[in-house]
């Protein structure tokens, strides 16, 4: 029998194992279970492929990536590995052929879509053959906490009962301590050895800029830094993926769209072009990328805020898999937050709250005044790393400024509207009021007679949006998801009363250089009458109640 190292040389043609691979492979070869957390591009596939070749029987690989199964099997076949797959894209004849090969012992690896395990005939088939191991790829799909939940993955816990002596290896690139825990308990892998590779991707430079003219900013970024490179641009909606691809093409950047609304043939074609051609940019929704193995993606750009840090890390992790320098670039703005809070309306209460927590974590990364990499690794449970010296905040430590007074003005405006008029408005109206703009909507509601009307002419509209965004990020102000309207939170009071200071990133440079804004002690602007108390009480009670009921911290 070949050793794992011999198989690595002979079959895959690689010189040496990557960090972690050998130990994982030896564990599974010896019949032990393994839970593998390794970043995208770390080399998870070999961790089950080699044991499947070394152990007698067939390695059964459960994977949600149906679209990639054919490619994976083709790649293995080219290496002389006997591989097949079973999924819903096949007709009866094709399935029968694979099943016959399995029964005849002519397969080393069998890829299975998770829904196949719902079918009794699949279970009966597996029972008739010899199984070397079960590999559960993209194992985070079992997590309801995560962003890729697949109900069929819950069935995978049953494998161990039917095949108690067959080793199982679960693999994922998504691993907050919560997901990790959930994978382990849902798949019954408590006795498994856990392998956690470092999530650090030192060759990726993380940069996040405030969004002003997103298309123009993206174009400038690609033109100046990656004009002829392969890259992925992520957008939230299908229509913006189409529009941005067209915009880039019109401006001389080779770009094609990819999203789940495209015809399957077009999708396959665009994916194939991206893999084969050089210097092509794919403008995509999150439908693109899971399992895509293209080593020389030089940049990943986000034009909209991802839903979670897990998503962001996985998506940006597709850049620079060859270890060469790559950029993770993002533009984000207040509208993203409002849009996410609106989208987060779907689903039940618990789901909405999870979404909100994910979004808060995402925003915390955007608004951090310290190293982005440290914050990311911290989130994934890797503490103790020093500043990377490479991300935008390391290069250019963000200026902060004392924004207590402007924050008070925003909060007063929101409070005044609620208190004096019984009204709630979105950020646009609040900013117009502070700027003293007599827009049609301001006049319609008579907002020019509010005491806060025009008190904010010292900042630009963009700066006010920046202030509001940061207040939202820090939970000092909240958006009601249903209408996108601003409301106070239990943290608002401290700022309004001048007990708490607000220090913000000076992301949007002030118009006049050298202008300073200092909160005066005693904060004369604090426009908070005593009657404001009940408002906070109500919010606090609501947040405490909902948090308690769901067993999660209030947000």
Q: State in angstroms the smallest separation of the CB of 71 from Mg ion.
A: 12
Question: Is 28 or 236 the residue whose CB approaches ligand ADP more closely?
Answer: 28
Q: Does 40 bind ligand ADP (CB under 6 A)?
A: yes
Q: Is 17 in the site for ligand ADP (CB under 6 A)?
A: yes
SS3 content of the chain, % helix, strand, coil (to 5): 45, 15, 40
- 38 or 479, CB closer to ligand ADP? 38
Write the DSSP assignment of 363-399 as a string of letters. Answer: HHHHH-SS-HHHHHHHHTT---PPP-S-SHHHHTPPP
In 444-492, which ranges are E strands? 477-480, 485-488
Map residue 495 onto helix, strand or coil.
Answer: helix
413 φ, ψ (degrees, to nearest 5): -60, -45
Q: Is the dihedral of CA 396, 397, 402, 404 positive or negative?
A: positive
Which pairs from 147-153 meet CB under 8 Å and 24+ separation? 147/307, 147/308, 147/310, 147/311, 147/358, 148/64, 148/174, 148/290, 150/64, 150/114, 152/114, 152/115, 152/117, 152/118, 153/62, 153/64, 153/114, 153/186
Report the partner that residue 14 touches, choosing among Mg ion, ligand ADP, none (CB closer than 5 to 8 A by kind).
ligand ADP
**Separation CA 69–CA 77 (nearest Å):** 12
Taking residues 42 to 81 in sequence order and writing x for each that binds Mg ion by CB under 5 A, - otherwise, the string is --x-------------------------------------
In this structure, are residues 41 and 321 in contact, taking their beta carbons and an 8 Å threshold? yes
Please say which residue, 171 or 359, places its beta carbon nearer to ligand ADP.
Answer: 171
Q: Tell me if 288 contacts ligand ADP by CB under 6 A.
A: no
Residue 179 in contact with ligand ADP, rule: CB under 6 A:
no
For position 38 contacting ligand ADP by CB under 6 A, the verdict is: yes
Q: Does 43 bind ligand ADP (CB under 6 A)?
A: yes
Alpha-carbon span 109 to 131, nearest angstrom: 10
18 is a contact residue toward ligand ADP (CB under 6 A): yes
Query: What are the tokens at 473?
Result: 């990020």
The Cα angle at residue 336 between residues 334 and 339, in degrees rounded to 5: 115
User: How is residue 255 written in tokens?
Assistant: 């770009």
Choice from 44, 95, 447, 491 touching ligand ADP (CB under 6 A): 44
Nearest to 519 by CA among 461, 466, 451, 467: 467
- Using DSSP's 3-state secondary structure scheme, residue 16 falls into coil
Q: How far is the CB of 274 from ligand ADP (least distance, A)?
A: 15
Q: How far is the CB of 47 from ligand ADP (least distance, A)?
A: 8
Q: Judged by CB, which is closer to ligand ADP: 295, or 325?
A: 295
Closest approach of Mg ion to the CB of residue 152, in Å: 18
Residues binding Mg ion: number (CB under 5 A) = 1
The only residue of 28, 34, 37, 41 in contact with ligand ADP, by rule CB under 6 A: 41
Q: Indicate whether 64 belongs to the interface with ligand ADP (CB under 6 A).
A: no
Instruction: Considering the complex, state which of residue 18 and residue 342 has its C-beta at the smaller distance from ligand ADP.
Output: 18
Query: Phi/psi of residue 517, each to 5°?
Result: -130, 120
The region of 44-52, 255-263, 363-371, 428-436 touching ligand ADP under the rule CB under 6 A is 44-52
DSSP helix/strand/coil, 135: strand
Among 27, 45, 429, 470, binds ligand ADP (CB under 6 A): 45
Residue 178 interface partner, choices Mg ion, ligand ADP, none, CB cut-off 5-8 Å depending on type: none
Minimum distance from residue 137 beta carbon to Mg ion (Å): 6
- Using CB under 6 A as the binding rule, whether residue 26 contacts ligand ADP is answered as no
**Per rule CB under 6 A, is residue 293 in the interface with ligand ADP?**
yes
From ligand ADP, Mg ion, none, interface partner of 9 (C-beta below 5 to 8 A by class): none
- CB of residue 39 vs ligand ADP: minimum separation in angstroms? 7
Residue 385 CB coordination number (10 Å): 15
Alpha-carbon distance of 129 to 40, in angstroms, equals: 32
What 3-state DSSP class applies to 328?
Answer: strand
Q: Which stretch binds Mg ion (CB under 5 A): 40-48, 146-154, 255-263, 451-459?
A: 40-48
The binder of 43, among Mg ion, ligand ADP, none, by C-beta within 5 to 8 A per type, is ligand ADP
Instruction: For CA atoms 308, 312, 315, 321, give the dihedral sign.
Output: negative
**Rounded distance between C-alpha atoms, residue 456 and residue 176, angstroms:** 42
* Nearest distance, CB of residue 181 and ligand ADP, angstroms: 21
Counting beta carbons within 10 angstroms of the beta carbon of residue 124, is it exposed (0 to 12), middle (13 to 18) or buried (19 or more)?
A: exposed
**Binding region for ligand ADP (CB under 6 A) out of 11-19, 96-104, 176-184, 238-246:** 11-19
- Minimum distance from CB of 138 to Mg ion (Å)? 7
Per-residue binding string, ligand ADP, 248-287, x by CB under 6 A, is ----------------------------------------
**Angle in degrees, 0-180, between the axes of helices 238-250 and 214-225, rounded to the nearest 10:** 50
DSSP 21: H
Q: Is position 189 an interface residue for ligand ADP (rule: CB under 6 A)? A: no
Cβ 38 to ligand ADP shortest distance, Å: 5
Stretch that binds ligand ADP, among 39-47, 245-253, 397-405, 419-427 (CB under 6 A): 39-47
Site residues for Mg ion per CB under 5 A: 44
Site residues for ligand ADP per CB under 6 A: 14, 17-18, 21, 38, 40-46, 293
């Amino acid at each position: 029998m070949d050793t794992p190292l011999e198989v690595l040389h002979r079959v895959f043609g690689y010189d040496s194992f990557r960090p972690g691979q050998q130990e994982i492979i030896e564990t599974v070869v010896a019949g032990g279970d393994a839970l593998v957390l390794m970043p995208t591009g770390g080399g998870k596939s070999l961790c089950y492929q080699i044991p499947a070749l070394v152990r007698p029987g067939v390695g059964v690989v459960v994977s949600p990536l149906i679209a990639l199964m054919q490619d994976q099997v083709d790649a293995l076949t080219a290496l002389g590995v006997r591989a097949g797959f079973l999924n819903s894209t096949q007709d009866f004849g094709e399935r029968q052929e694979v099943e016959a090969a399995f029964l005849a012992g002519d397969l080393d690896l069998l890829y299975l879509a998770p829904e196949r395990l719902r079918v009794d005939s699949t279970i009966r088939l597996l029972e008739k053959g010899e199984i070397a191991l079960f590999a559960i790829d993209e194992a985070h799909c079992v997590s309801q906490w995560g962003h890729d939940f697949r109900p069929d993955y819950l069935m995978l816990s049953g494998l161990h009962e039917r095949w108690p002596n067959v080793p199982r290896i679960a693999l994922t690139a998504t691993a907050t301590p919560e997901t990790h825990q959930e994978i382990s308990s849902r798949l019954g892998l408590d006795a498994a050895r856990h392998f956690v590779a470092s999530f650090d991707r030192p060759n990726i430079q993380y940069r996040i800029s405030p969004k002003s003219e997103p298309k123009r900013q993206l174009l400038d970024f690609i033109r100046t830094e990656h004009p002829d490179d392969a890259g992925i641009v992520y957008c939230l909606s299908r229509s913006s993926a189409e529009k941005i691809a067209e915009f880039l093409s019109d401006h001389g950047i080779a770009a094609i769209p990819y999203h789940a609304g495209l015809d399957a043939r077009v999708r396959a074609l665009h994916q194939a072009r991206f893999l084969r051609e050089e210097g092509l940019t794919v403008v995509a929704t999150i439908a693109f990328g899971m399992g895509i193995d293209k080593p020389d993606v030089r940049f990943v750009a986000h034009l909209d805020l991802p839903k979670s840090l897990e998503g962001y890390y996985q998506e940006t992790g597709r850049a620079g898999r060859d270890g060469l320098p790559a950029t993770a670039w993002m533009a984000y703005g207040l509208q993203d937050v409002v849009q996410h809070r609106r989208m987060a309306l779907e689903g039940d209460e618990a789901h909405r709250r999870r979404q909100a927590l994910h979004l808060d974590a995402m925003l915390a990364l955007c608004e951090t005044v310290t190293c982005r990499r440290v914050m990311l690794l911290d989130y994934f449970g890797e503490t103790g790393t020093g500043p990377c010296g490479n991300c935008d905040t390391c290069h250019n430590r963000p200026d902060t400024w004392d924004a207590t007074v402007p924050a008070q003005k925003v909060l007063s405006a929101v409070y005044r509207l609620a208190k004096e008029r019984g009204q709630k408005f979105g950020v646009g109206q609040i900013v117009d009021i502070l700027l003293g703009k007599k827009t049609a909507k301001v006049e319609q509601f008579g907002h020019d007679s509010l005491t806060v009307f025009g008190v904010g002419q010292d900042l630009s509209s963009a700066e006010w949006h920046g202030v509001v965004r940061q207040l939202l990020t820090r939970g000092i102000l909240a958006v009601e998801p249903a209408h996108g309207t601003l409301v106070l939170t239990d943290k608002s009071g401290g700022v309004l009363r001048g007990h708490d200071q607000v220090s913000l990133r000076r992301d949007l440079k002030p118009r006049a250089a050298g202008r300073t804004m200092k909160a005066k002690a005693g904060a004369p602007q604090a426009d908070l009458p005593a009657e404001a108390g009940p408002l906070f009480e109500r919010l606090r009670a609501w947040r405490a109640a909902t948090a308690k009921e769901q067993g999660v911290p209030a947000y």
